[in-house]
Amino acid sequence: MALWGMVIDLDRCTGCQACVMACKAENNVPAVGQKEAERGRIISWMQVLTETDEEHHSEKMRFIPRPCLQCDDPPCTKVCPVYATYRNPEGIIAQIYNRCIGCRFCMAACPYNAKYFNWYTYQKEKPGQNPDVSVREKGVVEKCTFCHHRLQKARERAHAEKREIEPGEYNTACAQACPAQAIIFGDLADPGSEVSKLARSPRAFKLQEELGTKPKVIYLTEGEGGG
């Protein structure tokens, strides 16, 4: 069985925000408006965090794209009282919006701040939105799902053609849109896949690995070999 994961090469990332915009367009992520944004209620399934290299007294800033890290030992699923968020067999942390009661326990448990609460119904279904992704309503938590709807479509296509899903057939919007090819997505369970090979690189590390969440989004440090 596949185990979907992502490698993000920080040596390649330019902070252009293409991944952020592609994610918003693909997943019908709402624009909350200036007033809500000023209250800290921006919804952005993919964020580009910034970090300045203070240790070496350098002005160099690095960009860290941060989707949901799709942890293998996720704190968020353990605190949900209604099983609205769970880890599926292929390692994706799913969110069942119709089951969510808006308690936000999962948001408090996530150390990466990768979940977002809908304080209002920010948008209605309308032309131009992606019909494959539901529009979330007031009072629920939403998050990155590794564009799971794309996996469903790839699986249906492969089933209709009586074959297995081919490598690269399922890809996330952020990885597809990255002009620097800093985001690589694929099957971590396949030792021959590009994402699996990069995850075993000496440059590989995980955000706050000491927490034991076992994220499946792996980063590559800056340095030689980054492209």
- The answer to whether 31 and 96 are in contact (CB under 8 A) is no
pLDDT score recorded for residue 60 = 78
Tell me if the pTM is above 0.75: yes
Output 36-41 pairs: Cβ under 8 A, ≥24 positions apart: 36/119, 36/120, 36/122, 41/117, 41/119
Tell me the per-residue pLDDT of 161-216, one tens digit each, with 9 for 90 and over: 999 999 999 999 999 999 999 999 999 999 999 999 999 999 999 999 999 999 99
pLDDT score recorded for residue 224 = 53
Phi/psi at 189 (nearest 5 deg)? Answer: -80, -15
- The answer to whether 6 and 184 are in contact (CB under 8 A) is yes
Residue 227's pLDDT band, with cuts at 50, 70 and 90, is: very low
Tell me the per-residue pLDDT of 69-102, one tens digit each, with 9 for 90 and over: 999 999 999 999 999 999 999 999 999 999 999 9
- The CA distance from 4 to 16, in Å, is 25
The domain spans of the chain are 4-220
pLDDT for residue 43 is more than 80: yes
Percent pLDDT > 70 in the chain is 96
- The answer to whether 91 and 71 are in contact (CB under 8 A) is no
- The CA distance from 24 to 31, in Å, is 9
What's domain 4-220's architecture?
2-Layer Sandwich (3.30)
Mean pLDDT over each residue of the chain, to the nearest integer: 94
What average pLDDT does range 56-62 have in this prediction? 72
What average pLDDT does range 42-71 have in this prediction? 87
Q: Which residues 6+ apart lie within 8 Å of 185 measured at CB? A: 4, 5, 6, 146, 171, 172, 175, 195
The candidate with the shortest Cα–Cα distance to 62, out of 216, 225, 196, 220, is 220
pLDDT for residue 226 is more than 90: no
